Structures are given as structure tokens and as C-alpha cells.
């Protein structure tokens, strides 16, 4: 019996960000045994741009899963920085206002990010770590977390916050998608041996955990528990794609290119800041979630054994 069938039955569930990468996995996990309503800008049961309008719901929801949000990228303008606030903060404010009219849910799950910690390096960072993010994305996620917690406390709603690292799954977006494309076309390089360890997690595993934790609440980091290096990850992907093992770029050469990137901007693929992030360990501790039943598969094993492109 799957987690959804065991823990959530015959419930009305609202999922925002249903058309997103994680949203697809959540739909697969929860739709068969529940009435699942989706919300996104241009598709689904409810079509609203949350940063611009308060949604009008015709249904009452037992559980709300807020997976919508502006994905992490490096903003180049003040307007791009503001987009994080509008989507990730104003958007959730409007969602909560809409729920107050249609009926307050019993449970609320907010999909957050490990970016709230504001750390560029570190090992086994726990949920007790102070939230010191200073970038627009991290700040928007911190403010959104505080909004959700306050609202849930005021309305007696079970509140769950899941702080996620890099999400892995079929056809991933962002940096992982770029890595896969680079490996496929033969232009991906590991830098300095690709020794940096990074936390990541399978989107399917996150979706499987939501039904189990939604009734209990709390704030949790979720990872695969193995924190592979770039070298390990790239080799696993290359093997699955039947491509050659990615080449290595010596650190001294990468630093020179990074300095060029500092002056030439986007014309160069990396700058010194990106290089620092790529070559530094950054992992998060998920023992708090494991004490509540969190189970995960190794991303490397998934690439080796579970997934075929």
C-alpha cells in the first residue's frame, strides 16, 4: 500500500504549481485516492496568477500543498529581484486570503528551499541553523515560511514546511538539466575533479513523503542521504546515457575563466562566485525527517538502476 493510500484517503486536496516539475510527481502520488484540484496560471482546475489576484475557490480543501513559486536563478535587474517577492510572497498572501473565504484547510504543506539558510558551503546543516539568506530568492522563501507559519498558527492548521535541495527526476529543469544536456553533447567538464559534495533529492520521494507528514507538521530538510559529488553524479548520468565519462578541467584553468567571467559577464559560462559554489561542499542533515518516517533512494542508484532516458 502506497503512502498516499495509507495516510490520505478521500480528501479534497489543492495543489498549486501543479504544472511544475515537483507538481507532476505529487499528482501521480495523490490523485488516485483523493479529489485533487490543481491550480496554475494557464491550466488546471483553477487558473489564477497568484501574484496578481486572490483566487476564488468553489471547493473546500482538507489539505493544501503550495508548490508554486519562482524558481531560483541569479537576477540581473531590480525588476527580476522583485519577481521573487511578487511570486513567492505576494502569491502566498493571496492564496491564504482566498482560502479564508472558501474555508480554512486542516493541513497546509509549503514547499520551501534550503536556500533559506544562505549558506554557500557546509556539511550536514540542520533545521536549527539560522536563516541568513541575503539573495532575493532566499529572502522571499524566508518571508513566505514566516507567513505560512503565522497564518497556520492563527487558524489552527497543521503546518508542514519542506526545505528541498536540488530536485532530481525525469527531464529536470535548471542546473541539473543543463548538466545532462552538456553530458549528452559532450561539453560538460568537472572542475578540479568534481569533488564537491551536494545534497539532492528525488522528486518522487518528496511526493511520497507528503501524505505521511502532512498530518504531523513541522519543518524538515529532505535529501537522498548520500550527497553525491559532481564527479559521481556526472559519471552516473553519462553511463546511463551511454556517453563517455565527463572530462576534467584543472582548478587553475577554471579560476582563470572565472576571473574573465567577473569582467565579461554572461559571455563567459562561469565567474568566481559560481566557481566557489561549484567547488565547495554543501550538504544538509535530514535526520529530523527520518525520525518521522522519511525514506529516500540514492540519486546515484536511481540513475544507475531505476531510470531510462
Tens of pLDDT, residue by residue over 75-132, are 677 888 888 899 999 999 999 999 999 999 999 999 999 999 999 999 999 999 999 9
**Band of the pLDDT at 31, cuts 50, 70, 90?**
confident
**Taking all residues of the chain, what is their mean pLDDT, rounded to a whole number?**
91
Q: Which of 15, 113, 3 is nearest to 64 (CA)?
A: 15
Q: What is the pLDDT of residue 147?
A: 98
Q: What is the pLDDT of residue 272?
A: 84
Predicted confidence (pLDDT) at residue 11 exceeds the cutoff of 90: no
Q: Say how many C-beta atoms besides its own lie within 10 A of residue 129's C-beta.
A: 17
Cα dihedral 9, 104, 14, 95 in deg (nearest 10): -170
Q: What is the pLDDT of residue 7?
A: 60
Query: What is the value of pTM for the model shown?
Result: 0.92
Q: What is the pLDDT of residue 309?
A: 46
pLDDT above 70 covers a percentage of the chain that reads 94
Cβ(150)–Cβ(108) below 8 Å: no
Residues 259-302 have pLDDT tens digits of: 888 887 776 677 888 888 889 999 999 999 999 999 999 999 99
Integer Cα distance of 224 and 162 in angstroms: 14
**Band of the pLDDT at 134, cuts 50, 70, 90?**
very high
Cβ(22)–Cβ(67) below 8 Å: yes
CB proximity list for 62: less than 8 A, separation 6 or greater: 11, 12, 13, 105, 106, 107
Predicted confidence (pLDDT) at residue 228 exceeds the cutoff of 80: yes
Amino acid at each position: 500500500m502506497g503512502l498516499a493510500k495509507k495516510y490520505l484517503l478521500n480528501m479534497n486536496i489543492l495543489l498549486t504549481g501543479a504544472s511544475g516539475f515537483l507538481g507532476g510527481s505529487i499528482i501521480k502520488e495523490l490523485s488516485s485516492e483523493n479529489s485533487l484540484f490543481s491550480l496554475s496560471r494557464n491550466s488546471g482546475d483553477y487558473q489564477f496568477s497568484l501574484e496578481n489576484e486572490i483566487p476564488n475557490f468553489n471547493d473546500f480543501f482538507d489539505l493544501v500543498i503550495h508548490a508554486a513559486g519562482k524558481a531560483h536563478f541569479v537576477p540581473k535587474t531590480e525588476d527580476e529581484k522583485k519577481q521573487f517577492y511578487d511570486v513567492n510572497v505576494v502569491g502566498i498572501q493571496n492564496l491564504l486570503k482566498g482560502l479564508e473565504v472558501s474555508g480554512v484547510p486542516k493541513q497546509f504543506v509549503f514547499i520551501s528551499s534550503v536556500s533559506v539558510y544562505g549558506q554557500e558551503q557546509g556539511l550536514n546543516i540542520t533545521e536549527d541553523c539560522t536563516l541568513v539568506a541575503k539573495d532575493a530568492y532566499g529572502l522571499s522563501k524566508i518571508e513566505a515560511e514566516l507567513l505560512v507559519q503565522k497564518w497556520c498558527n492563527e487558524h489552527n492548521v497543521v503546518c508542514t514546511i519542506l526545505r528541498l535541495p536540488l530536485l532530481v527526476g525525469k527531464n529536470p529543469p535548471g542546473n541539473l538539466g543543463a548538466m545532462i544536456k552538456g553530458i549528452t553533447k559532450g561539453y560538460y567538464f568537472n572542475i578540479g575533479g568534481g569533488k564537491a559534495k551536494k545534497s539532492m533529492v528525488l522528486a518522487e520521494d518528496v511526493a511520497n513523503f507528503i501524505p505521511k507528514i502532512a498530518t504531523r507538521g513541522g519543518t524538515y530538510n529532505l535529501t537522498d542521504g548520500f550527497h553525491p559529488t559532481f564527479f559521481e553524479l556526472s559519471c552516473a548520468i553519462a553511463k546511463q546515457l551511454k556517453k563517455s565519462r565527463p572530462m576534467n578541467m584543472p582548478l587553475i584553468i577554471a579560476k582563470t575563466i572565472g576571473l574573465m567571467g567577473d569582467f565579461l559577464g554572461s559571455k563567459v559560462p562561469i565567474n568566481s562566485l559560481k566557481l566557489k559554489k561549484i567547488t565547495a561542499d554543501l550538504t544538509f542533515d535530514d535526520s529530523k525527517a527520518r525520525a518521522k518516517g522519511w525514506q529516500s533512494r540514492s540519486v546515484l542508484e536511481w540513475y544507475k538502476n531505476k531510470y531510462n532516458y
